[in-house]
Chain A
Amino acid sequence: MAGRRAKTKKIVIDPVNRIEGHLKVEVEVSGGKVVDAHCSTGLFRGFEIILKGRDPRDASQITQRICGVCPTSHGTASVYCLDNAFGVKPTTNGRIVRNLILAGDHIWDHILHFYHLVALDYVKGPGVPPFVPRYEGNGIYKLPPEVNDFAVKGYLQALEIRRIGHEMMAIFGVRGPHVHGLVVGGATVVPTTDAIVGYLWRLKEVEKFYDEVYLPTVYTVAKYYPEGFNFGTGCKNFLSYGVYPLNDDHTEFLLKPGVYTEGEDKLFDPEKITEYVKYSFYDNRVTGLNPKNGKTPVANPEKKGAYSFTKAPRYDGKPHEVGPLARMWVANPILSKHASEFLGKTGEVRMRDFGERAFSVLGRLVARAEEGWLEVQAAKKWITELKPGAPVYVKADVPETGMGYGCTEAPRGSVGHWISIKDKKIAHYQVIAPTTWNVSPRDDAGTPGPIEQALIGTPVPDTKNPVNVVRVIRSFDP
């Protein structure tokens, strides 16, 4: 009827579980679809305040505690940032060891994400806690019994395989989570033939799982949930800082840095990043800054109109999605044979061959599994490039003053650290964690963040069991 608004219903999901951290999502549903969404994060710890005045070298330990699922990525961003500020360049062996630590981390984390965080939205687990209670209703769990059983078996197998992946990471990272093997100036584990063989042996086991279980299961889920390619679209802007430098000058990467904004590919420039706080629990005076001079004061959860502890980072003023889909879209590498099969092609296919379908819940899950496969292949090559016994570390004395930044990619997205050093102490440190990009609230112009945008249009046929809403959220791995 003209002039009359359709009836809307508000759904609050708090906590959103099977993620890292504390997240509340509020959606408005009208006509069976989401018409508005707000993402609120529930935790403030004050890392940037705690870092101030400390020995700069300790940043690579401290910042890993931002996230226990992706500490290695924070550690990597931090040591790049410190190398930059200290003016040191690690050895080739040091660079490769760092790549192998980070690859080990990505490879196991992709498995954890799909099986232990995401799968229970599609696969019916056993009828005991922690698998129940769960959303119930017609058409939620659509896998035929034998496929469902295979996926449940995969869930248990994946627990083992992710542990082996973790061991792989610890061979050069020393232990995990929270590695000791990343320091300014390089790494701490000098490769021995023992370490190389130990890594490779485990990698082969993980590779088999990717090839025989993980990739086939992702594409099987995609077959039974074809509608998953039609929602969760998002802002269609992608950002990747680039990851795994292939030379010591960091000018070539396995997955190259780049930006895809409003349909155009562009070069990445860290100066174009700004963070906004109008809707975040921080003083409005710190809005609109580039992280090299950004500020994170103690939050004020009572701030009027604000609804999240997360700031709203923007690239060139616009929201950008980060994560496996962004990286794979930007770099557009060749995918596995499973992708060719799925797309019904005989030859090689690339990420962009998925076309618009990639901008979706399933597109993100596919991109993630495919990226893992690519990382497994790359790690197999890198491990043979190590020189046993050759130095992994160059001396890195704390400079009197200095400035630097370090950018890399966590499994879930772009991670950047910025530092200034004065009197050999940290004068300023800023972090933009991957989830900050994706889970961002509205910016000062009122533009919603990537997950908020991706939720718009999500079908919610049953407001008591809004499973598609959590499917969209988890596809970003917040």
Chain B
Amino acid sequence: MSLSRRDFLKFCGGTAAGISISQMFIPEIVEALEKAATTRPAVLWLQGAGCSGCSVSLLNATHPKIADVLLKIIDVRYHPTIMAACGELALSAIDNTTKEGKYIVVLEGGIPIGANGKFCVVGEKKGKEITIANLFAETASKATAVLAIGTCAAFGGIQAANPNPTKTAGAVEFLKMEGIKTPVINIPGCPPHPDWQVGTIAHVLLYGIPELDSKNRPKIFYGRLLHDHCPYRGFFDDDTFCKDFNDKEGCRYGLGCKGPDAFCDAWKRRWNGGANWCVQGATCIACVEPKFWDEYAPFYE
């Protein structure tokens, strides 16, 4: 199996001849991943202040199927939504993994630092409560890399929206405050597309950390402005705008579409196995951008 990094990037970008976008992960890539994963990397998936929507989105992965991701490619030692164990039994899996070393931390959700972190308590050990701030700092400091999955983990997300009552921070901001130097890859989106999640994990396993933009996002997925590639761009250039949501013959800009501010590839990747995507069915809210809840609201104007 000789899959070059260049080919891999082509597949991710959906630009390789004959490969449709929804088939980002052709069997050869899955095979390469399985081989690379003979020592499947241990993953600790932590949830902070969030809604579990990123995990639900991950479950929608199609190529490879989610069962293959979970059982063949990565070794998920801790994931609150899917793991069998509870309580101290579950937390022991974290301790065992950090002792072994060589693991990746996935963070889903933001880190509230108000009230000494007590706005987000994620467990209890020997009668002492553990906050996500404690747990993330402790596990991230010894991790190979941190994957901040979703806009909450990357930039704070909805709870960090004005007036940010819980003083929630994203991973980069939080680790900087704590003086922890572990590299962070941001995979924002509310939620992030399953391909962005699995694709980034695959890149890390096969080739290391992918090329990132100034917001720590992999360029393979977040490198281009949606508006420049939008299939409705012709309407924009012609000044043909939709009158309301019943009207599909026009650009959605007048309905409040934030495509001109969003860097992601939803325009070609589409959502939910290609069933639909944001601008086709409605409008974009720029959910991949930092502070989008404040900077791009109101969404329907």
When the two chains form their complex, are residues A392 and B246 in contact, meaning their CB atoms are under 8 A apart? yes
- Please report the C-alpha to C-alpha distance between residue A185 and residue B293 in the assembled complex, in whole angstroms: 22
Residues of B within 8 A of A67 (CB): 51-53
Chain A residue contacts of B168, Cβ below 8 A: 45
Check: B39 CB closer than 8 A to any chain A CB: no
**Which residues of B have CB within 8 Å of A177?**
53, 56-57, 191
Per-residue B-contact encoding for A250-265, CB less than 8 Å = 1, 0 else: 0000000000000000
A300 to B119, CA, bound (A): 9
Sort chain A's interface into a size bin: 35 or more
With A and B bound together, what is the CA distance between A181 and B276 in angstroms? 11
A61 touches B115 (CB 8 A): no
Known contacts A46-B166, A174-B281; is-contact A392 B245 (Cβ 8 Å): yes
Closest B residue to A163 by CB, please name it: B60
Note all chain B residues with C-beta closer than 8 A to A131.
83-84
Are the CB atoms of A176 and B272 closer together than 8 Å? yes
Are A174 and B77 also in contact (CB < 8 A) when A16-B87, A65-B51, A120-B84 are?
no
Say which residue of A61, A163, A172, A391 sits within 8 Å of B246 (CB atoms): A391
- Whether the Cβ atoms of B273 and A180 lie closer than 8 Å is no
**Cβ of A137 under 8 Å from chain B:** no
Q: Judge whether A125 and B84 touch: CB under 8 Å.
A: yes
Nearest-CB residue, chain A, relative to B163: A49
> Would you call A68 and B158 a contact (CB within 8 A)?
no
Instruction: Check: B278 CB closer than 8 A to any chain A CB.
Output: yes
Q: Which residue of A lies closest to B293 (CB)?
A: A62
CB distance from A324 to the nearest CB of B (A): 19
Interface residues of B in 28-82 (CB under 8 A from A): 47, 49-57, 59-60, 62, 65-67, 70-71, 75-82
Q: Are B246 and A189 in contact (CB under 8 A)?
A: no
B84:A175 contact, CB within 8 angstroms: no
Residues of chain A within 8 A (CB-CB) of B275 are 167-168, 170-171, 175, 198
State the CA gap A117–B52 with chains docked (Å): 13
Q: Which residues of A lie under 8 Å from residue B123 when comparing CB positions?
A: 14-15, 24
B297 x A132 contact (CB < 8 A)? no
Contact of A175 among B47, B59, B276 (CB under 8 A): B276
Contact of B83 among A47, A54, A129, A187 (CB under 8 A): A129
A395, closest chain B residue (CB): B244
CB distance from B167 to the nearest CB of A (A): 10
Residues of B within 8 Å of A186, CB to CB, are 245
Question: A68-B54, A181-B282 are contacts. A22–B271 as well, Cβ < 8 Å?
Answer: no
Q: Is B180's beta carbon under 8 Å from chain A?
A: no
Question: Which residues of chain A are within 8 angstroms of B79 by Cβ–Cβ distance?
Answer: 130
Q: Does A162 contact B (CB under 8 A)?
A: yes
How distant is B32 from chain A, measured CB to nearest CB, in Å?
A: 22
CB–CB B84/A43 < 8 A: no
Q: Are B83 and A61 in contact (CB under 8 A)?
A: no
Contact mask for chain B residues 212-226; partner A; CB cutoff 8 A; 1 contact, 0 none: 000000000000000
Least distance between A464 CB and chain B CB atoms (Å): 9
Residues of A within 8 A of B57 (CB): 68, 177
Check if A98 is an interface residue, CB within 8 A of chain B.
no
A65-B158, A180-B281 given as contacts; is B82 within 8 A of A170 (CB)?
no
CB nearest to B193 among chain A residues: A175
CA distance A42 to B112 in the complex (A): 12
**Chain B residues within 8 Å of chain A by Cβ, number:** 81
- B23 an interface residue at 8 Å Cβ cutoff? no
Dominant secondary structure at the A interface? loop
A42 and B158 CA atoms in complex are apart in Å by 17
> Does B118 count as interface, using CB distance less than 8 angstroms?
yes
Q: CA A66 – CA B91 in complex, angstroms?
A: 25
Residue interface bits B157-187, CB-to-A below 8 A is 1, else 0: 1110111011010000000000000000000
A289 to chain B, nearest CB (A): 19
Closest beta carbon of chain B to A256's beta carbon, Å = 29
Q: A57 in the interface, Cβ–Cβ < 8 Å?
A: yes
Selected from A24, A69, A176, A299, the residue in CB contact (under 8 A) with B119 is A299
Shortest C-beta distance, B242 to chain A (Å), equals 10
Q: Is A355 an interface residue (CB 8 A)?
A: no
Q: Given the known inter-chain contacts A50-B162, A163-B62, A180-B283, please indicate yes or no for A55 contacting B93, CB distance below 8 A.
A: no
Q: Closest Cβ of chain B: how far from A29's Cβ, in Å?
A: 14
Which residues of B have CB within 8 Å of A183? 245, 282, 300
In the complex, A116 Cα to B55 Cα: how many Å?
12
Q: How far is the CA of A90 from the CA of B47 in the complex (A)?
A: 38
* Residue ranges of B at the interface with A (Cβ–Cβ < 8 Å): 47, 49-57, 59-60, 62, 65-67, 70-71, 75-87, 89-93, 112, 115, 118-124, 127, 129, 157-159, 161-163, 165-166, 168, 190-191, 244-246, 248, 271-273, 275-278, 280-283, 285, 287, 293, 297-301
- Listed from nearest, the 6 A-B pairs whose CB atoms lie closest are A68-B53, A174-B281, A46-B165, A55-B298, A68-B51, A42-B121
Additional A-B contacts beyond A50-B163, A61-B285, A129-B93 (11; CB < 8 A): A16-B87, A20-B81, A58-B300, A68-B51, A120-B84, A130-B83, A133-B93, A162-B59, A176-B60, A177-B53, A298-B166
A residues at B contact (CB < 8 Å): 12-22, 24, 42-47, 49-50, 54-55, 57-58, 61-62, 65-69, 71, 112, 116-117, 120, 125-126, 128-135, 156, 159-160, 162-163, 166-178, 180-181, 183, 185-190, 198, 298-302, 391-393, 395, 470
